[in-house]
Structure 1
Amino acid sequence: MNLINKKVTHELFGMGSIVKHNDSIIEIHFESENKKFFFPDVFGKHLTMHDKSDANSLEKIIQKKELERKKEEWKKEEEKKLQRKNQELHLEHEKLMKNHKLHSESQMVFWCDTEEQNSSFSEWKVFSGVIKSGNNKGKPNKPIRLHQNSAVLLTAIDSSMPEKDRRILGVYMVNEDFIGKLCEDGYIPAHSEYKIQLTEQESDQMLFWKYYINEKFPQKITWNSGKYRYFENSWMAQILLDIVSLKSDPRERELAQQFFEHFCKMNQITDQELPKPNGALMRI
């Protein structure tokens, strides 16, 4: 909108004409001197346009500017709310990390279906599934026992095979700052460093039920329902130690050893005192 030479009246300086303007500043020549004002803020408060058509056009510009200003204020307020929420979550996260007490069964074994046998290693995360009933039906399960000391064991079984032949496919520590209680989407991401995928030949030598047992029914080898279950920290250590022994490549063996040592440190396990595997398969 071109306002050059348009006549205006200021409440203090009287009549004048516009000599310059841009999106933020307007300069007006009055009888004795030129004055600069913020544009378009000065209109409607201190300055009046003589031409009614120009005044109407200017009013539209002012309304647009006001709308943009309100949007910007709303955006800033939403950003502040988000910052406050993130700060609260951060403080809660720090509190949970600081006050965490080790649970003796804070490891997870996960049943990978055919599709998940690929995706869990390409994406290095698993989905805990959804709640089947109750007020929270349809919402993701919260893996509440998982913490930075937890590992996720990936297993699978061919549909034609008995449950006792369930194989271990791989294992990973959860992400460094993962806290199951705060997990809203049900996805459990892997640690950036501590993760292992077994070859098919290695997997055939790592049977899950060699380590796992249902203490209430020690003779039963059944998974029943659900995508995952928790199990003892010492059992996971046994599995990791056997994976170290399984690796023939020096580099892979060293990485597995580092994984094992990190796990034992995080779970306050002394490897010299680690018992031998005594799962359901060892008791048949």
Structure 2
Amino acid sequence: MNLIDKKVTHKRFGNGRVVKYNDSFIEIHFATENKKFVFPDAFGEHLKLHDKSAANSLDEVIQKMELVRKKEEQKKEEEITLQRKEQQRHLEYEKLMKNHKLHPKSQIVVWCDEEEQNSFFTEWKVFTGAIKSGNNKGKPKIPSRVHQNSACLLTARDSSMPEKDRRILGVYMVNEDFIGKFCEDGYIPAHSEYRLKLTEQESDRFPFWKYYVNEKTPHQMTWNTGKHRYFDNAWMAQILLDIVSLKSDTQEQELAQKFFEHFCKMNQIQEEALAKPNGALMRI
């Protein structure tokens, strides 16, 4: 569409012709002077094209631009709505965290079956298991004690091995927005940064029962039933500290150290006050 030399009429300045235009402005030569207007906004209310074919083409351009403008405005409104919802969610989260009391046993250990071992380190989430009986039979167990200060320990043992040989596969801090009592599907997602996977060789050197003890039966190593257990915050700190020493790769060791420091901060644990591991395996 070429508008150069096209005749126009302005309500105030009268007749003129187009001498120059671009995507933003159009310049019209009137009887005594040139005037610039916003293009194509000035057409319709202030300027009229004499050429009907050019006017129709311009109307199509204006309609397309108006459609784009409306879509952009709608997108901005949607973004503002999302921002407001996010701000509200953040305020509610901050309020909840302000009233959150640190539980001394808010760490969770999960028994991973063979299928989960193959998929876990790609999905980085674990299932807490289903309720076995009662009115809620079949529904996911709610990890109500798990909060932003919690870490999730992954363990496994081969069916041919005794329970004392249960090994640690990996550990992750739970997602920073996760609140266990609001969890409906029973899945605990991992933090975006604090995730540690042990190699098979490292895992073989990392027995779970070195750290964990059932206080009712301190000399026994029995899992009994269920897919997960809660355990002491200090025990998890011991595990993380030992992973730092275990890792030989510099990058992984640095991540493990950052993980340990973050965990201690979240759980108000002083490294120098941390006792040596004293799980059931250490009491034989």
TM-score (norm 1): 0.71
Q: In structure 2, what is the equivalent of residue 221 of structure 1? A: 222
CA shift at 1:100, angstroms? 2.6
Deviation at 1:40, TM superposition (A): 1.1
Q: Distance in 1 between matches of 2:226 and 2:90?
A: 35
Moved more, 5-14 or 110-119: 110-119
- The residue that corresponds to 1:188 in the other structure is 189
Does 2:217 align with 1:200?
no
- Give the match for residue 38 of structure 1: 38
Q: Deviation per CA, 1:159-199: give whole Å up to 9, x if none.
A: 33355542223334446x45435779945324746847365
Secondary structure class of the residue paired with 2:58: helix
Alignment match, 1:160:
160
- 1:128 and 1:143 in contact (8 A); partners too: no
Q: Distance in 2 between matches of 1:28 and 1:7?
A: 9
- Quote the offset at 1:3 in angstroms: 0.7
The residue that corresponds to 1:99 in the other structure is 99
Distance change (3 Å), C-alpha of 1:158 and 1:277? same
> Aligned letter for 1:170?
G
Task: Give the partner amino acid of 1:126.
Answer: K
Query: Is 1:170 equivalent to 2:170 in the alignment?
Result: yes
Shift of 1:102: 0.6
Q: Separation in 2 of the partners of 1:37 and 1:81?
A: 34
Separation of aligned partners in 1, 2:128 and 2:50: 69
Q: Distance in 2 between matches of 1:229 and 1:178?
A: 21
Deviation (angstroms), 1:268: 4.2
Separation in 1, partners of 2:226, 2:36: 76
1:48-63 equivalence runs, <5 A: 48-63=48-63
- Shift in Å, 1:214: 8.4
Q: Secondary structure at the match of 2:19?
A: strand
In structure 2, the partner of 1:211 is 212
Instruction: Find the aligned partners of 1:58 and 1:66 in 2 and give their Cα distance.
Output: 12
AA aligned opposite 1:8: V
In structure 2, the partner of 1:10 is 10
1:213 alignment partner, SS class: coil
> In the alignment, is residue 85 of structure 1 matched against residue 66 of structure 2?
no
Using the TM superposition, give the Cα deviation of residue 35 of structure 1 relative to its aligned residue in structure 2, in angstroms. 1.3
The answer to whether the 8 A contact 1:13-1:30 is kept is yes
User: Structure 1: which 5+ residue stretches go unaligned?
Assistant: none
Which residue type is aligned with residue 4 of structure 1? Answer: I
Measured after TM superposition, the shift of residue 267 of structure 1 is: 3.0
Q: How far off is 1:69 after superposition?
A: 1.0
Q: Find the aligned partners of 1:20 and 1:257 in 2 and give their Cα distance.
A: 66
| SS of corresponding position for 2:35 | strand
Instruction: Provide, for residues 97-131 of structure 1, a one-character-per-residue CA deviation record: whole Å limited to 9, x for no partner.
Output: 4433111321011233446546655x693334688
Q: Does structure 1 retain, via aligned residues, the 8 Å contact 2:152–2:173?
A: yes
The code of the aligned residue for 1:112 comes to: C
**Amino acid of the residue matched to residue 34 of structure 1?**
N
For residues 105-120 of structure 1, the aligned pairs below 5 Å read: 105-114=105-114, 116-117=116-117, 120=120
Q: Distance between the aligned counterparts of 1:224 and 1:23, measured in 2? A: 72
Identify the residue that residue 125 of structure 1 maps to in structure 2: 124
**Closer, same or farther in 2 for the Cα pair 1:257/1:95, shift >3 Å?**
same
Q: How far off its partner does 1:64 sit?
A: 0.7
Partner of 1:28: 28
Q: Distance in 2 between matches of 1:49 and 1:235?
A: 81
What secondary structure is seen at the aligned counterpart in 2 of 1:44?
coil
What's the CA shift for 1:7?
1.4
